[in-house]
Amino acid sequence: MDQRRPREKKQTKKGDLSTTRPPVLFFILRPQPKPENAVTIAVSTRVLFRTEREQKVFERHGVEEYLRYQIQHENEPFAPGPAFPFVKALEAVNSRLRQLYPQSEELFDIVLVTYNHAHVGIRLINTINHHNLFIERFCMTGGSSPIGYLAAWHTDLYLSADAQKVREALAEGIAVATVFMPEKQTEVSESQLRVAFDGDAVLFSDESERIFKAHGLDKFFEHERQNEDTLLDHVTCFLEALGKLQKKFYAKGQRLDCPIRTYLVTARSAASSGLRALKTLRAWGLEIDEALFLAGAPKGPMLEKIRPHIYFDDQMFHVEGAAEMGTIAAHVPYGVAQKRQAGKRDRRN
C-alpha cells in the first residue's frame, strides 16, 4: 500500500486559506496481472455504462459537438449499464482470489474498450472512480476499430453493443457477445458470479442444430442417439476460463462456497439428447454447476429464478425472452440460426 502524506499543516488564522492543504489521500496500488496470465474481459463503454444521451448528441450533431459535450460534462458520472453488475461480480471474485492466493496473477482483468477519443477518457476515469470500479486498462481508439487490439490483450471475452464488431471479433476466434439492456433489470447477487450458457452454437458447435433445422426433431433425436459417444466440436468459450478460476477455489476446499457458479440452460431434452452434451463437457474437463434441459420450454422463467449476471444464447428469440424477464442477455452470433441483418448500427461503442 502506498500511503502519501502531505507535510503537517501549519496553524493559520481563522479565514486564512493561504497555507491550507488538501486532505490526506490514501492510494491502494494493486499490481496488474500480466494479460497472458489473467482471464481478460473486454467491455465497451456502451455496455458498462448508460450512454444513450451522449449517443444522441453524436448522431444528431456530429463528432465535434459530441466531444465538446463530453468535456463539458466530464465531472458527471455515467449511470451503470447492463454489464455493470457483471463487472462488479468479477471484482468480488478477484477479492476472494487475492485472499487465497496473494501472489497469483490468475485473476479477472477488465479492459475498457471504446471508440472514443482520449479527451473522453477523463469522464470515463471519473465515472470509474465514482462507482469504485477497479479498471486500469483502457483502449480508446479515436474512431478506429478496436478489434485488432483484442488479441494483443489476450482477450477471453468481449462484450459490446455493436453487433457488427462482435461478428468481426468472432471471426478472429475471440469469445464475444452483443449485450442488450432489458426494460426491467433483476437484482443479482453481489457476492457470487452467476453465468448461464445455452448449449448448441454457444458452448458446442452448431452441428446438431443444423440437423434439426434441415431434417426436423425426429432426425435430430436419432442423430444424437447414434452419436452419443462422439464429442461435439468445441466453440471458443468463456466457460473454460471460468472453470480455471473455479478450480482454484476447489483446491482450497471451497467448492460449496465458490463465488463462481455456472449454468447450462438448453432447449435440448435430457433423455433424448442430453447425454451427448454432458459427456462432451466432461471429456473437455469442464464442470457445469447446474444443467437445465428444458425440452423446448421457455427459458425466461428459469433464468428469472437463476438470476445470472449474464446469459449467453445464439438465438435472438431466447435473448429477447430472457430480457423480458429482466435478465441481462447476450447474443452470440454463431451458427446456422443466425439471420444476418443489414441494419445500420453506429460504430461508436
Determine the longest span between alpha carbons in the chain, in angstroms: 89
**Cell output for 238:** 468463456
Q: Can you tell me the distance from the alpha carbon of 306 to that of 78, in angstroms, rounded to the nearest whole number? A: 28
Choose the catalytic residue: 156, 198, 200, 313.
198
Q: Using CA atoms, how far apart are residues 277 and 282, in angstroms rounded to an integer?
A: 9
**Known catalytic residue at 198:** yes
Residue type, 122: I
Alpha helices in the chain (DSSP H): 45-48, 52-61, 63-72, 84-100, 121-130, 147-152, 163-171, 207-215, 217-226, 238-250, 270-284, 300-306, 316-324
The kind and range of the H/E element at 21 are none
DSSP β-bridge partners for residue 110: 41
Distances (CA, A) of 82 to 73, 188, 212, 251, 259: 22, 12, 33, 32, 20
Are residues 9 and 20 in contact, defined by beta-carbon separation less than 8 angstroms?
A: yes
Residue 117 belongs to what H/E stretch?
A: none
Contact 161, 47 (CB under 8 A): yes
Contact 311, 327 (CB under 8 A): yes
Give the residue numbers annotated as catalytic, written as ranges: 198
